[in-house]
Amino acid sequence: MLPDWLKVSDEVQAALAAKRPVVALESTLIAHGLPCPVNVETARDSESAIRDAGAVPATIAVLNGVPTVGLSDSEIELLASAHNIRKASRRDLAAAVALKQNAATTVSATMALAHAAGIRVFATGGIGGAHREEEAFDISADLTELAHTPVLVICAGAKSILHLPRTLEILETLSVPVVGYRTDAFPAFYLRAHTPPLPVSARVDSANQAAALFAVHGRMGGGGVVLAQPCPVEVAVPTAEFDRWFAEAEREVHTARVTGSQVTPFLLARLAELSGGRTLAANRALIVANAKLAAEVAVASAGV
């Protein structure tokens, strides 16, 4: 039974009732991660990729204080164009609801709301994690949410701007499986892999294998699982070029005194500018690719 504080679209409710595959999508990438109109185009392309693979998309946000699972196209456009959209992690959901705000949900908040609705598969770009040395105690709530919320998160690893070895160590401590999809190395968002390569805890080579692993993890009392798919090779960014762009963007973060939840959007925007749009193209491609894979796994999960 759905909680009374949660709104679920008729289409998503009908799919869940009929035990048809549903894939959750976050909304922070629409409001804060991508510029307009690329944000709307990417959201639509992701939903289309999910439908084409035989599942139902459920983009998630908080609208006028109501946690909403399954946004309409006009609601997606609102998130893409409005300037007063709150960025909400799991911590911020109650405030957004109580204050009747519009909020775009991060990975942690989307996981929580997807689980409340009964959705077990979720596609995103890259998860959050531990920031680099200068911000050693800046650790994303995505990691702790993964520890206890039983949702399979399909992503391109963790964002390239993060400290990936530390991120993986934290996930190991939290007993979160990090599974590579057709790869033995943890993907690094815009990059195909970290340098040097960081091993994943397991590898699968099909949607059926991914669905089976997640099902067993759940039956054994586990929480979330990360299924990491590398960025499409044709748009992946070379490490040396990324490192040069990132060093410049990071200097600008300190000069502008950007802090807290605004650091990641600032860095992603500057990287898009410094790379001449190459990181933006990679981001868009990997988001859609992850949505397609998530739908395939959701379809496979229906038979597990």
Which residues lie closer than 8 Å to 91 by C-beta, 6 or more apart? 108, 141
Closest C-alpha among 250, 287, 286, 294 to residue 268: 250
Catalytic-residue membership of 234: no
Choice among 77, 159, 292, 296 that is catalytic: 159
Catalytic-residue membership of 26: yes
Q: At what angle are helices 263-274 and 239-256 packed, to 10 degrees?
A: 130
* Inter-CA distances, 17 with 1, 112, 147, Å: 10, 19, 27
Q: Which two tokens stand for residue 239?
A: 């490490």
Instruction: Tell me, letter by letter, the H, E, C secondary structure of 39-86.
Output: HHHHHHHHHHHHHHCCCEEEEEEEECCEEEECCCHHHHHHHHHCCCCE
Distance of alpha carbon 79 from alpha carbon 62, whole angstroms? 10
Strands (DSSP E) found in the chain: 7-8, 22-25, 56-63, 66-69, 86-88, 103-105, 121-123, 152-155, 178-181, 202-204, 225-228
Token pair 């990181």: residue: 279
The count of C-alpha atoms lying within 13 angstroms of the C-alpha of 180, restricted to the half-sphere facing its C-beta, is 19
Catalytic residues: 26, 159
